[in-house]
Structure 1
Amino acid sequence: MEGKKALGDYYEGVAARYLSHKGIQILERNVYSRGGEIDIIGLDNDVLVFFEVRFRKTGSLVDPISSITPAKQKRLLRAASFYLHRHHLWDTATRIDVVGITPGTTSKYRVQWIKNAIQAG
């Protein structure tokens, strides 16, 4: 399990660097609450963004974005709600984005950033 956590931390670092280069101000990483875990929390201008980071190896049957199940989506929504409640940020503009990472062909990684990927239904 420690290996899986270290791998997750590594790819969250890759995502954080990518997002920083795209203008996101990283506020927190690996935020845990009763609602679940949020990989990265950042600011995109005046929008508070909760990021889910997914990595898949070459040859994986499912791409990183598609690997987020409906149950995982519910956990992410719950974790974001707990965070907003705990920090009294209910009036803040927010969204949940997904960053998918796969090994690249012309560069080390292929990073796919889907804005507003998960919405409250």
Structure 2
Amino acid sequence: MAQIPAGANRPGELSRKQTGDAWETRARRWLEGKGLRFIAANVRERGGEIDLVMRHGRTTVFVEVRYRRSASFGGAAGSVTRAKQAKLLHTARLWLARHNGSFDTVDCRFDVVAFTGNDLEWIQNAFNDHS
């Protein structure tokens, strides 16, 4: 794997963005190995961002990627709060509308890929617009 450049403020360390990008790339590759097909990354709409948009069969999958060094404060999966879920739902709704779709017309789900230390947890259908 190519070496990732160090953060500007701390020689030898990655910036938050570089760290996030590296974990998102790792999640994308892992999901592709599980049969999902990549559609988009870092989808930004007014009010939020979705890390990955993938396709799993006929289902559009919106993926939130989280990383925590340890489980000391609840782990990576626990960091996807109700407020974060609401932002993701809103962003997905806008993205779907931009692509001539909606939650009523497109089969979709929200997954979380959580890295806590070296452990990976894939939570399929972690939440939905009815949660």
Could you tell me the TM-score, scaled by structure 2's length?
0.83
Q: Do residues 101 (structure 1) and 110 (structure 2) align?
A: no
Deviates more, 1:57-66 or 1:75-84: 57-66
In structure 1, the gaps of 5 or more residues are 105-109
Q: Secondary structure at the match of 1:19?
A: helix
Runs of 4 or more, structure 1, over 4 Å off, are: none
Residues 25-44 of structure 1: CA distance to partner in whole angstroms, max 9, x if unpaired?
01110010114100000000
Structure 1 residue 96, shift from structure 2 partner = 0.6
Please tell me the root mean square deviation across aligned C-alpha atoms, in Å.
Answer: 1.5
Could you tell me the TM-score, scaled by structure 1's length?
0.90
Residues 57-84 of structure 1: CA distance to partner in whole angstroms, max 9, x if unpaired?
0353221111111111110000110011
Match of residue 56 from structure 1: 68
Say how many residue pairs are matched. 116
Query: 2:24 corresponds to which letter in structure 1?
Result: E
The higher radius of gyration belongs to 2
Q: Do residues 17 (structure 1) and 26 (structure 2) align?
A: no
Query: 1:98 corresponds to which letter in structure 2?
Result: V
* More helix by percentage: 1
Asked if the contact 1:35–1:80 (Cα under 8 Å) also holds between the matched residues in 2, the reply is no
